[in-house]
Structure 1
Amino acid sequence: MNLKALAQHLGISASTVSRVLAGRGDEFRIAKATQKRILDEAAAMSARPDELARSLRLQSSRTLGLLIPDISNPFFASLARAVERRARAQGYTVLLADSQESVEVEAECVRMLVDRRIDGLILAPVGGESAHLEVLTTSKLPLTQVDRVFASLQAASVVSDNFSGARDAVRYLVKLGHRRIACLQGKEDSSVIAERVRGYRAGLTEAGIRFRSDLLAGGEHSQAIARDHTQRLLCAQPRPTAILALSNLLALGALEAVREAQLTIPADLSLIAFDEQPWASLLSPSLTTIAQPVEDMGTAAVDSLLAQIKPAARKSKTAPIVLPVRLIQRGSVAAWKKD
């Protein structure tokens, strides 16, 4: 049975039936009893609205875009799952694109998503440059940045408290007697990495430890590069007593280098990683991590975007959402005995 036939059967206007089946009954203040009657009858008679016709009529595709920099990164895979789950609960589907940590691919993905007439976009930008993203601002497309952000886009954002997470990790290491604390960073022009490095340096300053540029290594979101840079750190004399890896991929690279150097964690080197993963507790020793609230980030990003999509909210400004992180103490960190 089609929508028109269902409306005639119920003796209710087609527009009312259409709005209820589109999940917009409350928005148009349709009585709960009427909504229930329509939905129950539709389910009983297997009536479904024509999605294309509905999207043209309502000027809404009920589709959200999600553009992330690396789907193979466990953090972004978990984020995508959280976004899809929340969007589906709100009656939306998600169109996912992977920019592969490339500005060029990111620009292509933005064009593709906009051409698909998405209702709004959740974006975790690659970083570096944002000129190719300005079209999102000029097009008035509802936009929420998540994890990584460009302040120049002046868009809503959902991030973790990256500064406090890194600072607290350094505090923990200092409390256990560590003074030579190295840091493995990703892309320096990423807002996330910049905030974590700032927290790392603040933790050192707070403890009266001079920042040393030779102990700040890395520069790419790459396990292989993190391994290479960790190898160089381990060859230094004296070598670091602890490493703070600013992502899970960087931590894996550090673990590779430590194994190849035939060193032992935490006897020879303590290690803390940003991002909690299911495998972190299964390592031997288990990995101390700074856990980000990935599920909450995905949920908040969808809610932020949907708040912008509502006609009444189009002109309102959304304050940045900063979610707390948590240090999970495990076996990869130990007190350092004085040299």
Structure 2
Amino acid sequence: MASSNPGRKSTIYDIAEKTGSSTSTVSMVLNGNWARYRIKEETANRILDCARELGYNVNMKARGLRLSRSGLAGMILPHYRNRFFAGLAQTFEDQARSRGLCPIVVGTQRDPEVEVSVTETLLSQRVELLFIAGMRNPTPLNNLCSAASVPSINLDLPGDGAPSVVTDNRKGAAEITEVLIEKLLARGHSTDELVLLGGVANEYATEMRIAGFRDAFKARGIAPAKDAIECCGYNAAAANRALTSRCQKLGRPPFGLLMNSITALEGLVQFMATLPHDAWKTIVVGCFDWDPFAAYLPFDVTMLRQDVEKIISEAFALIEKQDPADRSLILVPTGFGKMFEEAEQTKEFDR
């Protein structure tokens, strides 16, 4: 039934009068916030039906209310610029489709406002689940999901508002640090030469990798140099600047470098490209990330690969348990690049 006055637009007061609801209840339903304020679904549907009859413009969140099953699975992540996040997205898409779901993946560029906006939009489309990858503070997004009765899982970085599946950063960092220490000693260099470069101070992944770095030294009864750890961020330009500064102080590059991400490794390559070729032969490098092209670099490099397949599988297993109170933290082991190469090549041939 349309409004009795064709020239007049319907308002929330009209809807409130026809449904016997308060204007605040109508407003919350039309804004898609009915579940958060514990409004009954029956009441919300009645208000929506009335709004449609009166020609009221219902927003995206409210329109999604009536879809009992959308078949959509959502994931948000910071970006696609490295193999880890790209691998998470690809594996998520594959595993979602294998479960009869249609995957939606959105990059947020680490902007908190964009993260909230994208989450709200995906919830308005009634995604059946949301994987939240690489968000430094996922709890507000988990809360939005809980209010909409949509299960969420945190990946890569943990949060308090939902279960989390993350790489075992500490153990992985300890293992690759031990490899680099052995290589330095075999070349006759001091362990004081080993530097951990990259990452963000007070961020979970970085702090765990720092702890693992220290664990490897402690296991040998020694400690890293006082200036061995530099959290210069993840981007290539920052790593390049940090290495340039160290080289200026030392008169040469450090003999041992553990780069905290593949993008930080790009900064190392940019920096080394400015030096004589012989300088490449003097260093050993580790990277807490993996890319097959690194095998062709003209220096000794050891790469640690995060197991994206296991991360996504564990996340779907948590979704299938359907436990809203679950706040568990699952740690997924890492492996050295060569352990995964055969499986990766097989997958490439299959595509």
- State the aligned residue count: 269
Is residue 287–residue 303 contact of structure 2 (8 Å, CA) maintained in 1?
yes
Pair 1:249-2:263 in alignment? yes
Q: What is aligned with 2:302? A: 288
Is residue 197–residue 257 contact of structure 2 (8 Å, CA) maintained in 1?
yes
SS in 1 for 2:118: helix
Distance 1:91 1:264 in 2: 54
Percent sequence identity is 23
Can you list the C-alpha shifts for 1:211-258, whole angstroms capped at 9, x where unaligned? 445322243221111111122222233752201011111111112112
SS in 2 for 1:260: coil
Tell me how far 1:128 sits from its aligned partner. 5.5
Distance 1:250 1:170, change over 3 A: same
Amino acid corresponding to residue 227 of structure 1 in structure 2: N
Is residue 166–residue 196 contact of structure 1 (8 Å, CA) maintained in 2?
yes
Amino acid corresponding to residue 208 of structure 2 in structure 1: E
Q: What is aligned with 1:181? A: 194
Pair 1:224-2:231 in alignment? no
Can you list the C-alpha shifts for 1:169-215, whole angstroms capped at 9, x where unaligned? 11112223151211112222432222111111222232333344532
Is residue 232–residue 242 contact of structure 2 (8 Å, CA) maintained in 1?
no
**Structure label with greater radius of gyration:** 2
Is residue 122–residue 302 contact of structure 1 (8 Å, CA) maintained in 2?
no
Distance 1:261 1:231 in 2: 10
Q: What is aligned with 1:157? A: 164
Distance 1:299 1:282, change over 3 A: farther
Distance 1:214 1:261, change over 3 A: farther
Is residue 226–residue 250 contact of structure 1 (8 Å, CA) maintained in 2?
yes
Gap regions ≥5 residues in structure 2: 1-63, 340-351
Is residue 284–residue 301 contact of structure 2 (8 Å, CA) maintained in 1?
no
Please report the TM-score for the alignment, with normalisation by the length of structure 2.
Answer: 0.69
Tell me how far 1:83 sits from its aligned partner. 0.4
Distance 1:162 1:169 in 2: 11
Aligned runs of 1:41-60 on 2, under 5 Å?
Answer: 59-60=68-69
Tell me how far 1:328 sits from its aligned partner. 4.2
Gap regions ≥5 residues in structure 1: 1-54, 331-339
Distance 1:207 1:266, change over 3 A: farther
Q: What is aligned with 2:203? A: 190
Distance 1:128 1:67 in 2: 13
Pair 1:136-2:136 in alignment? no
Root-mean-square deviation over aligned CA pairs: 2.6
Q: What is aligned with 1:302? A: 316
Is residue 265–residue 271 contact of structure 1 (8 Å, CA) maintained in 2?
no
Distance 2:224 2:288 in 1: 20
Q: Whose relative contact order is higher, 1 or 2, with alpha carbons under 8 Å and at least 6 apart? A: 1
Match of 1:67 among 65, 76, 88: 76
Is residue 84–residue 306 contact of structure 2 (8 Å, CA) maintained in 1?
no
Is residue 288–residue 329 contact of structure 1 (8 Å, CA) maintained in 2?
no
